[in-house]
DNA sequence: ATAGGGTTAG
């Protein structure tokens, strides 16, 4: 094809048909062949295609740099390109602007809105510049500045700019409404909507999105239905409202309506629909969509392909996800990489996730958040915190946002690391990160896990709006500390404030009752649950079991309408251990050995039941069974947070600098414990057991090492925090009570799912025997 | 104005 003979508009329509990057490269090569690439008009055409196709920055930059005398349009398209990439490219935007100033071009005011938008959150820095140039009254520039404040806050500044306007365009009103929704101010958004002189699709769509974010789907739908002239975006907004709030069926129903309307789906629609399929678990439906698209030869954009990747990842087909990722090749963008990283973290493949993370050149906040939360959700809280430290020390990398903080604060909570948690909170303040409900929820979690219930309560009270998670988290805190009455009070409080309890609420309430021995209240709550599931049964078995009503518990299991799961038998086994019911313990354990043969905890519990009855032959038998099945008790580690550092202990590992002192104190405590009657010298009975195992069976656990360390370093402190990665087992539990009694101090210990506060030989967890 | 990342229990 001879490019020289084609007219501008012909070439323009040719360019629009380019559907992937290799086609773009071919097109580019042909321009070079025809020596057309020096012309600004071609450069700006190419760069706008780069924006559309998400070409990588080096390639786009190459086009720009090989244009000898770029005109204003080239600059504009380059700025728009960066604007599309997000705020991570602020430095390039600044360089571009400086170059533009040197080029002796006539800069029209229309450059500034693009400039401001392309700078993302840092566009604020242009605000002063624009004021200095005396351009602040330009309606387009004002609109851009207001949009900036609406998006990145403070929303009050947006309001001020809006208030100063003499004439307001429809776009100004829309921007302001978006701003109010963005900062959770529903009342103001509605007020503006009602008083504005005219409205368009954008206005209505902003209302739909706003309500959808507040999870108020009824109002979202009401506004959607009222839209006089819908377009693709408004359909997409409503579709995404359903999809994001876990109503995928509704989304698909609406999608049918859309297919029957005059608006046809675009790339974003496909992305939303595919992700709706994946969240309702109907992957075959998604497959049929993909098939239909292939038949119709509709090329999925990188945008929809990312959704497809995500769908495969959620379905657990990691290979399929990876295939999409590899197919995308150069048109992968940060979003694609991020989706692949979270695909790996979702299945717990942290190494592969980290490999991608390290390979990435342009990481945005989401990249960091995906990796940090990946660690946090896979029980690697310490690694999550380490990575967060890397994030804030790395110069070029993005600033943490609220999502980062939620993950990190929660990780601190899981570790019981209050000092580090407080340091994280100081970063929240320093960076002026506004906490939403989730942010406050993570604070409640942190304080509860660290034993600061007063701070947890205070945080809860400071919140203006609370969701069901806020209540659940605080109730869980009360449950862990044995404050049953406060938990039950919160249940009625939330009902009074029209927050609907969910299944987790009932789990934590029942746990609270059971830890506090509140049989009657707990039973009443259980009976009020409309459709109790197996988890709720597990809790109620625990409740009955702990107060000794084991036969009643067994009867409930027999009469369960649903199939009992391992948790139900686990509760029974634990109760049998507490009340030394060998018969029921054996029954529960034998079922559990079938249900989850590789869970070492069940074997240990049964072995402990036998040990407490002095049936040492049976103890040895269980140990042999474990060996036969090939189950090993996982090596546990415990840590203490001291002066902002985590001190980690593993049995047999003496790498800690105070190890000698720790072991000396441990031996001394062991002597005292033996003298006071604990550990009636089981060692001599267990002749056939190997030395290492023997030690473990009589309770040399990592948490004891950690407690000894804490006793050494914190002489006057009343509270010692020890955290452990495993369930605290029977021997250790008793030992902790002894230590707290001997030392006359309160010891707080966390295992991976419970909180133990030992004081005067009593533990708050409900094991009162 | 519409895609990707976050909080709670056992």
Write down the mean pLDDT value for chain A.
82
Please state whether strand B lies within 7 Å of residue A507 at its CB atom. yes
Using the CA of A505, which nucleotide's C1' is the nearest one? B9
- Residues of A (648-707) placing their beta carbon closer than 7 angstroms to any atom of strand B are none
CA distance A375 to A385: 9
Stretch (H or E) spanning A240: helix A232-244
Q: What does A332-367 look like in DSSP terms, one character per residue?
A: --HHHHHHHHHHHHHTT-HHHHHHHHHH-SS--HHH
Distance A633 CA to B6 C1' (A): 33
Using the CA of A208, which nucleotide's C1' is the nearest one? B1
Residue A743 falls within a domain, yes or no? yes
Of the residues A465, A493, A518, which one is the last residue of a structural domain? A465
Distance A292 CA to B1 C1' (A): 28
CA distance A656 to A548: 43
Question: Could you say which nucleotides of strand B lie within 7 A of any protein CB atom?
Answer: 1-10
User: What pLDDT does A268 receive?
Assistant: 84
CB atoms within 10 A of CB A260: 7
Contact yes or no for A488/A521 (Cβ under 8 A): yes
Q: Is the dihedral of CA A744, A750, A751, A753 positive or negative?
A: positive
* Partners of residue A638 on adjacent β-strands: A649, A724
- Burial (CB count <10 Å: 0-12, 13-18, 19+), residue A294: exposed
Using the CA of A477, which nucleotide's C1' is the nearest one? B8
Looking at A593-725, which runs of residues are DSSP E strands?
A: 637-642, 645-650, 719-724
Please state whether strand B lies within 7 Å of residue A206 at its CB atom. yes
What's the whole-number mean pLDDT along residues A159-187? 86
CA distance A765 to A514: 9
Residue A161 falls within a domain, yes or no? no
Please state whether strand B lies within 7 Å of residue A143 at its CB atom. no
A380-434 tens-digit pLDDT? 998 999 999 999 888 666 788 889 999 999 999 988 888 899 999 999 998 888 8
User: What pLDDT does A686 receive?
Assistant: 45
The residue length of chain A stands at 769
Where is pLDDT greater, at A93 or A514? A514
Q: Residue A768 pLDDT more than 60?
A: no
Least confident piece of the model among A205-209, A234-238, A293-297, A398-402:
A293-297
Distances A306 to A180, A335, A342, A556 between C-alpha atoms, Å: 30, 7, 12, 47
Using the CA of A438, which nucleotide's C1' is the nearest one? B7
Least confident piece of the model among A57-71, A425-439, A443-457:
A57-71
Percent of chain A scored above 70 by pLDDT?
A: 86
CB atoms within 10 A of CB A492: 9
Residue A519 tokens read as 């049989």
Q: Give the range of the structural domain holding residue A437, as residue numbers without chain letter.
A: 368-465
Distance A441 CA to B7 C1' (A): 6
Residue A409 falls within a domain, yes or no? yes
Using the CA of A440, which nucleotide's C1' is the nearest one? B7
Q: What does A476-499 look like in DSSP terms, one character per residue?
A: HHHHHTT-HHHHHHHHHHHHHTTP
Percent of chain A scored above 90 by pLDDT?
A: 26
Q: In the structure, what pLDDT confidence band is assigned to residue A370 with cuts at 50, 70 and 90?
A: very high
Q: What does A496-548 look like in DSSP terms, one character per residue?
A: HTTPPP-HHHHHHHHHHHHHTT-HHHHHHHHHH-SS--HHHHHHHHHHHHHTT
Q: What does A107-164 look like in DSSP terms, one character per residue?
A: --TTHHHHHHHHTGGGGHHHHHHHHHTT-TT-HHHHHHHHHHHHHHS-HHHHHHHHHH
Cis upstream peptide for A154 (omega within 30°): yes
Q: Specify the CATH number for the domain of residue A400.
A: 1.25.40.10
Please state whether strand B lies within 7 Å of residue A379 at its CB atom. no
User: What pLDDT does A687 receive?
Assistant: 44
Q: Residue A491 pLDDT more than 90?
A: yes
CB atoms within 10 A of CB A571: 25
CA-closest candidate to residue A677, choices A619, A623, A584, A742: A742
Please state whether strand B lies within 7 Å of residue A338 at its CB atom. yes
- The structural domain count of chain A equals 2
Please state whether strand B lies within 7 Å of residue A576 at its CB atom. no
Residue A387 falls within a domain, yes or no? yes
Please state whether strand B lies within 7 Å of residue A370 at its CB atom. yes
Where is pLDDT greater, at A552 or A710? A552
A662-700 tens-digit pLDDT? 888 888 887 777 776 655 444 444 444 454 555 555 445
User: What pLDDT does A753 receive?
Assistant: 57
User: What pLDDT does A683 receive?
Assistant: 42
Stretch (H or E) spanning A727: none
Max Cα distance, chain A (Å): 102
Distance A267 CA to B2 C1' (A): 10
- Give, as one character, the DSSP assignment of residue A184: T
Residue A730 falls within a domain, yes or no? yes
SS3 of A151-173: the string is: HHCCHHHHHHHHHHCCCCCHHHH
SS3 A680: coil
Using the CA of A342, which nucleotide's C1' is the nearest one? B5
Residues 6 or more apart whose CB falls under 8 angstroms from that of A477 comprise A444, A445, A447, A448, A449, A453, A456
Of the residues A447, A465, A483, which one is the last residue of a structural domain? A465
User: What pLDDT does A182 receive?
Assistant: 84
User: What pLDDT does A416 receive?
Assistant: 83
- Give, as one character, the DSSP assignment of residue A262: S
User: What pLDDT does A194 receive?
Assistant: 93
Using the CA of A54, which nucleotide's C1' is the nearest one? B3
User: What pLDDT does A600 receive?
Assistant: 83
Of the residues A465, A484, A508, which one is the last residue of a structural domain? A465
The Cα angle at residue A434 between residues A755 and A207, in degrees rounded to 5? 115
Distance A6 CA to B8 C1' (A): 63
User: What pLDDT does A379 receive?
Assistant: 86
Please state whether strand B lies within 7 Å of residue A118 at its CB atom. no
CA distance A637 to A404: 26
User: What pLDDT does A615 receive?
Assistant: 86
Please state whether strand B lies within 7 Å of residue A252 at its CB atom. no
Distance A388 CA to B5 C1' (A): 14
CB atoms within 10 A of CB A18: 18
Stretch (H or E) spanning A442: helix A437-449
Residue A379 falls within a domain, yes or no? yes
Q: Residue A160 pLDDT more than 80?
A: yes
Distance A278 CA to B4 C1' (A): 15
User: What pLDDT does A726 receive?
Assistant: 59
CA distance A738 to A731: 11
Q: What is the arrangement of strands in the sheet containing A746-750, beginning at the earlier edge strand?
A: A645-650, A637-642, A719-724, A746-750, A755-759, A762-763
Distances A60 to A29, A79, A81, A326 between C-alpha atoms, Å: 14, 11, 8, 21
Q: In the structure, what pLDDT confidence band is assigned to residue A215 with cuts at 50, 70 and 90?
A: confident
A102-152 tens-digit pLDDT? 876 666 777 777 777 776 666 777 777 777 877 777 777 888 888 888 887
Residue A451 falls within a domain, yes or no? yes
User: What pLDDT does A650 receive?
Assistant: 80
- Residues of A (38-77) placing their beta carbon closer than 7 angstroms to any atom of strand B are none
Where is pLDDT greater, at A291 or A463? A463
């Amino acid at each position: 094809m001879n490019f020289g003979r084609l007219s501008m508009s012909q070439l323009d329509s040719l360019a629009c048909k380019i559907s992937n990057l290799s086609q773009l490269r071919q097109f580019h090569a042909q321009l070079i062949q025809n020596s057309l690439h020096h012309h600004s008009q071609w450069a700006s055409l190419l760069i706008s295609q780069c924006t559309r196709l998400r070409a990588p920055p080096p390639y786009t930059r190459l086009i720009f740099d090989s244009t000898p005398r770029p005109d204003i349009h080239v600059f504009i398209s380059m700025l728009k390109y960066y604007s599309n990439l997000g705020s991570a490219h602020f430095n390039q935007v600044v360089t571009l602007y400086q170059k533009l100033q040197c080029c002796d071009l006539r800069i029209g005011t229309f450059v500034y809105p693009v400039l401001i938008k392309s700078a993302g959150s840092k566009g604020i820095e242009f605000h002063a510049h624009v004021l200095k140039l005396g351009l602040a009254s330009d309606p387009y520039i004002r609109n851009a500045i207001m949009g900036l404040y609406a998006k990145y806050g403070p929303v009050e500044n947006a309001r001020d700019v809006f208030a100063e306007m003499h004439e307001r365009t429809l776009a100004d009103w829309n921007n302001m409404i978006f701003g109010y929704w963005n900062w959770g101010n529903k009342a103001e958004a509605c007020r503006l909507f009602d008083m504005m002189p005219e409205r368009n699709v954008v206005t209505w769509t902003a209302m739909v999105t706003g309500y959808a974010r507040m999870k108020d789907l009824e109002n979202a739908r009401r506004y959607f239905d009222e839209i006089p002239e819908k377009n693709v975006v408004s359909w997409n907004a409503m579709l995404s409202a359903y999809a994001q709030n876990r109503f995928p069926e509704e989304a698909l129903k609406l999608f049918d309506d859309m297919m029957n309307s005059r608006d046809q789906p675009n790339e974003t629609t496909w992305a939303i629909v595919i992700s709706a399929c994946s969240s309702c678990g109907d992957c075959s439906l998604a497959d049929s969509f993909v098939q239909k698209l292939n038949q119709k030869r509709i090329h999925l954009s990188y945008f929809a392909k990312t959704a497809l990747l995500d769908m495969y990842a959620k379905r657990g087909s990691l290979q399929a996800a990876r295939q999409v990722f590899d197919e995308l090749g150069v048109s992968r963008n940060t979003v694609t990489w991020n989706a692949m990283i979270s695909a790996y973290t979702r299945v717990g493949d942290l190494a592969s996730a980290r490999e991608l993370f390290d390979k990435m050149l342009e990481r945005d906040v989401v990249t960091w958040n995906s990796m940090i939360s990946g660690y946090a959700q896979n029980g690697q809280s310490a690694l999550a915190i380490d990575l967060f430290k890397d994030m804030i020390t790395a110069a070029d990398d993005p600033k943490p946002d609220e999502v980062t903080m939620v993950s990190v604060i929660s990780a601190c909570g899981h570790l019981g690391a209050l000092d580090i948690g407080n340091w994280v909170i100081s970063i929240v303040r320093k960076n002026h990160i506004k906490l939403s409900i989730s942010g406050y929820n993570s604070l409640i979690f942190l304080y509860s896990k660290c034993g600061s219930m007063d701070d947890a309560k205070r945080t809860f009270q400071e919140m203006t709006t609370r969701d069901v998670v806020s209540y659940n988290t605080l109730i869980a805190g009360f449950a862990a500390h044995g404050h049953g009455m406060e938990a039950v009070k919160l249940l009625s409080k939330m009902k009074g404030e029209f927050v609907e309890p969910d299944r987790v609420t009932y789990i934590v309430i029942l746990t609270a009752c059971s830890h506090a021995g509140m049989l009657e209240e707990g039973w009443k709550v259980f009976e009020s649950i409309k459709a109790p599931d197996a988890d709720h049964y597990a809790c109620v078995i625990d409740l009955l079991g702990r107060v000794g009503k084991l036969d009643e518990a067994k009867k409930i299991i027999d009469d369960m309408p649903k199939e009992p799961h391992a948790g139900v038998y686990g509760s029974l086994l634990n109760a049998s251990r507490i009340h030394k019911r060998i018969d029921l313990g054996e029954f529960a354990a034998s079922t559990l050995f079938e249900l989850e043969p590789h869970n070492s905890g069940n074997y240990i519990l049964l072995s402990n039941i036998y040990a407490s009855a002095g049936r040492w032959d049976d103890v040895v038998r269980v140990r042999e069974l474990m060996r036969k099945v090939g189950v090993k008790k996982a090596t546990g580690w415990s840590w203490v947070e001291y002066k902002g550092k985590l001190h980690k202990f593993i049995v047999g590992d003496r790498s800690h600098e105070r190890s000698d002192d720790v072991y000396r104190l441990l031996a001394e405590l062991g002597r005292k414990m033996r003298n006071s009657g604990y550990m009636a010298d089981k060692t001599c009975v267990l002749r056939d057991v190997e030395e290492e195992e023997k030690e473990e069976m009589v309770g040399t656990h990592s948490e004891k090492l950690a407690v000894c360390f804490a006793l050494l370093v914190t002489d006057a402190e009343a509270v010692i925090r020890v955290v452990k990665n495993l369930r605290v087992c029977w021997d250790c539990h008793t030992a902790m009570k002894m230590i707290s009694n001997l030392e006359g101090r309160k010891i707080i210990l966390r295992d991976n799912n419970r909180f133990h506060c030992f004081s005067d030989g009593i533990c708050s967890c409900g094991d009162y025997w």
